[in-house]
Chain A
């Protein structure tokens, strides 16, 4: 009896030791399906702020690759009162309308002509209400991109909705802008002027879609996590976060809700199975043609908050610290070039007009 018991216990322990080794349930898959390229994608956002309004026109690309911009489109903004404004090509597939702001009394649509085919959106009206955002931030060690704790910067908003019972649908977008001074390398001979600093901007957590449906709740005040970012040497100098609150209509809210579903699809049991997301733009002559994207008109407010190195509770290393005896070519390229530091992000040498801090 005793020997049988020993054998069983030994077997049992052996299996536990062997089988409970840490194992993830997620694995990369060698899975490439048939791809379908070339579908037209049009995205336009029109706000009430008199600024540069943008419409992007592109085509879908193969699995895993970025989309390709369409350069030969004609893009117009239509108003319900019959006016038409033309957008101008400014970048790869990027068409802009400078100095225009949407009005509450008008409805707007966009019309895009590509290869003699006309695509038009539904007319959309701008909502009238906005909420009040009070921003705050926090530095914390917590799991973020991995299961191990990391240094994380989190932006919060305490948002107060208007007391009106009319429905309100909100979306927030976060953009960071930080200053990056290039290393002044005097070299030999007559010293050159100090290089201008870089102002580098990027969207924080672009795939986090911050949406709120204020129509189905009595809550008029709420705290939201708007975005997170890993703490790195970008925080060595003043670091701004611009929060753009967009008040959108119900159809746009539903569209972004679907986008959030497909973007966050984890393939789990309780996930809504993904599907193509269609918006409010179609081919005027061929309704069957798949056109992706959306045109939205949003009432907008921008709120900003900044942080400095003094707020950061973590040790940050400055890779570009100047040492007189260090050879110039041993400095990293990010210390000498904004382009190299930006790594594809948007950058400029001119400080934004709102770049003011204590």
Chain B
């Protein structure tokens, strides 16, 4: 058999058996759709290249360097695995698509692989250093067998870090979503370990962590406000999105500042060769995207924008208050990339998002978020690359009440400067990342303003804090053998709260409260308080039998910026709060261990992971906390200890006519407050479930690839009901029936269940490149409880429990997209 034959990895017979297994996996009534699916036959071709070094002494080893880019867009591709002579070389391409190999002189077979892309095979005669740039091409979606592009099929086995989820936009599009809009957060919530408080709640809870414990970044720039429409949709436009990587286990040391996880969303670079774009008109959302070369082969840009048009849906509602409500949101993304040379490039990214929501004439809120960054990527030597980034972020928040006797508006927000420099030194078996990061936060003063000229509200201002967080970091990925890898690092995080600030003094021996203030110290400038700490990060991978691996990790993370809220779930207008003299930074210890196994030549991947996290100084609000316009906010808060643990099972089918995954998560998230004063303890200082403690979560995502660009997708979701504070008895005072509520989060709402589906197909104008997305969110129209309230009935004023559902019916949407350009 020739070497060429060995690389034929698919044939028609194998395809049929794969299809049958896929049908079982699907578990739906649409089995017939899959029966007629033919299969992919992929061919392998080798390209022979010879590198010689004339007039030089022969060496035992030579270097091969190069860059891997996407053929269609010219974008560098990170994480491409490089196989040498049939074995994994231990190195993937770095963040800018570059790689360095040190090989014995002679003949080698080199294969560049990434899932969803056609592998490229080379036969190299290596008798000198050489440069080999590769262009990978996407596997055609029109093919009726499909390969999950999320990550390399063996990535779960090979990658050195546990608890990493990576996915690109093509996979995100296949998960049915609210308003039919491909959405990162929606996809993540179908993955193991990721949940949210409920529909209409901003933010995600990852492995039992609070929403503010997730570091959410766009091209490594911090994005604080990251959702639209009460959390139904993320702020990241799928048209401009490249991929995302979620670190929920051991977070690498080059990320920090949050105590639970890190999510980095990579945005696309514009096409360097042709102008092209797309426009979509949907029932709830319209959008446009344009990309192309400003200077061909040198400078490209991409512009993408979305605008809501959902108000007509509110007009159709039965309730008058809903009819009189208004919801608007938008986001704008601009990316410009300039390539000075193959080794040096500069990126500019700008994201602006905004939301406006008004409920009848009763209340409303609006916020606006701007993030801009400039990133320089430089390959200094064959072994050393440097990435520098400076960024600016601004977030403004407003909450208004237009119909009270004194219409008023509260405004607050913050802005920040972020700088980060990261070096990557690539040695033979070790990759070393090093660098430093600094963020300067300025909290904007909180204003209370009269909303109308007739309002009698006196304008009020509460000054807020400013602080700086900075951290040097270093980490190393070491692959001593193909089967063993270690990744270790350390981050030394520092935080300084800077003046001006007013530090209140409180009576000793009693809980701090506004009634126990004894004085105030004003610090004009300089250091107010400082915190710091080492954050070790460690993970390992041990692979055996090529299809099994065990991975584990441990990390410590500090958090100096957090949100405070006394609402049921995270809301878009939650206050961001820096650590102060009284509000200590959070510090978490995270441990995770997982077993990974792939089957049938990586067609199926499975994993079972466990995690355990403790968090010191987790914030909890006191009963009836008054958070707005409060100059001594520490009097409304209490800190405590957080505990999260659980296990995650993932079964994923990566290729064939039907792809998808089944995810099950068992997760607990608990907290207990710690204070020497029992009167301010929550639930008497005992452990209690957090708002987002949902022990059982199951997701089944199924994609049927019908052929000719059509896919039929379903997403089935089940989770345990979340905790709520319920009624334990009632009493009467002054003729008023008063519910007497029990311990915080003592009860649970009913379980959650939802089915979504989407159908993606080509449009109906043959000469256009048009697409149709028809989707239904909550297909069964199930009224999933978001929360529970009690309502009086009859003259007896008996209190009856009711559940409230954010989305009480099925929500269909239809989007028509036309693409133009090549």
Contacts and interface: CB of A to CB of B under 8 A. Distances in A.
Contacts of A294: 733
B1 interface: no
Given A33-B726, A275-B741, 13 more contacts: A4-B764, A8-B774, A12-B774, A23-B783, A26-B802, A26-B804, A28-B800, A31-B801, A219-B405, A219-B456, A269-B787, A277-B624, A292-B733
A33 B746 contact: yes
A270 to B, nearest CB: 5
A303 interface: no
Interface of B: 200-201, 230, 316, 318-320, 363, 405-406, 455-458, 460, 566-569, 571, 623-625, 678, 724-742, 744, 746-747, 749-750, 761, 764-766, 772, 774, 776, 781, 783, 785-790, 792, 795-812, 814
B729 A60 contact: yes
Given A26-B803, A67-B731, A33 B742 contact: yes
Among A63, A67, A147, A219, the one with the most B-chain Cβ atoms within 10 Å of its Cβ is: A63
Nearest to A23: B809
A175 B230 CA distance: 41
A251 to B, nearest CB: 9
A293 B801 CA distance: 23
A287 B735 CA distance: 27
A6 to B, nearest CB: 9
A58 B732 contact: yes
A222 interface: yes
Contacts of B799: 63-64
A267 B786 contact: yes
Interface stretch (A34-42, A76-84, A113-121, A132-140): A34-42
Interface string A7-22: 0100110011011111
B159 to A, nearest CB: 37
B733 A56 contact: yes
Contact of A37 (B729, B736, B800): B729
Contact of B624 (A24, A147, A212, A261): A261
Interface of A: 1-2, 4-5, 8, 11-12, 15-16, 18-29, 31-37, 39, 41, 43, 45, 56, 58, 60-67, 143, 147, 173, 203, 206-207, 209, 212, 216-220, 222-224, 257-259, 261-263, 265-277, 288, 292-294, 343-344
B726 A217 contact: no
Given A23-B809, A29-B803, A294-B733, A147 B319 contact: yes
A270 B766 contact: no
B457 A217 contact: yes
A26 B804 CA distance: 5
16 contacts: A12-B774, A19-B812, A25-B804, A31-B749, A31-B803, A60-B729, A217-B457, A222-B406, A222-B456, A258-B624, A262-B739, A269-B786, A274-B725, A275-B744, A288-B678, A292-B731
Contacts of B795: 343-344
A263 B731 CA distance: 11
Nearest to B810: A19
Contact of B316 (A20, A28, A34, A217): A20
Contact of A66 (B732, B746, B764): B732
A220 B746 CA distance: 44
A267 B789 contact: yes
A16 B809 CA distance: 11
A220 B316 CA distance: 41
Q: Which 9 A-B pairs have the closest CB atoms?
A: A219-B456, A267-B789, A25-B808, A267-B787, A275-B623, A60-B729, A43-B733, A19-B810, A36-B728
B747 A5 contact: no
Contact of B805 (A4, A27, A143): A27
Given A270-B571, A274-B741, A217 B406 contact: yes
Contact of B734 (A35, A45, A60): A45
B458 A217 contact: yes
B318 A22 contact: yes
A33 B809 contact: no
Contacts of A15: 776, 810, 812
Contacts of A4: 761, 764
A174 to B, nearest CB: 10
A65 B798 contact: yes
Contacts of B724: 267
B405 to A, nearest CB: 5
Contacts of B737: 66, 206-207, 263
A284 to B, nearest CB: 16
Given A60-B731, A207-B792, A27 B801 contact: no
A64 B791 CA distance: 10
Contact of A31 (B457, B729, B747): B747
A63 B624 contact: no
B458 A63 contact: no
A73 B288 CA distance: 74
Contacts of A65: 730, 798
A222 B742 contact: no
Contacts of A147: 318-320
Nearest to A93: B732
A130 to B, nearest CB: 18
Contacts of A288: 678
Contacts of B806: 25, 269
Contacts of A32: 801
Nearest to B408: A217
A294 B805 CA distance: 35
A293 B788 CA distance: 24
B741 A262 contact: yes
Chain A CB within 10 Å, residue with most, of B569, B766, B801: B801
B746 A28 contact: no
Nearest to A203: B735
Contact of B804 (A21, A207, A266): A266
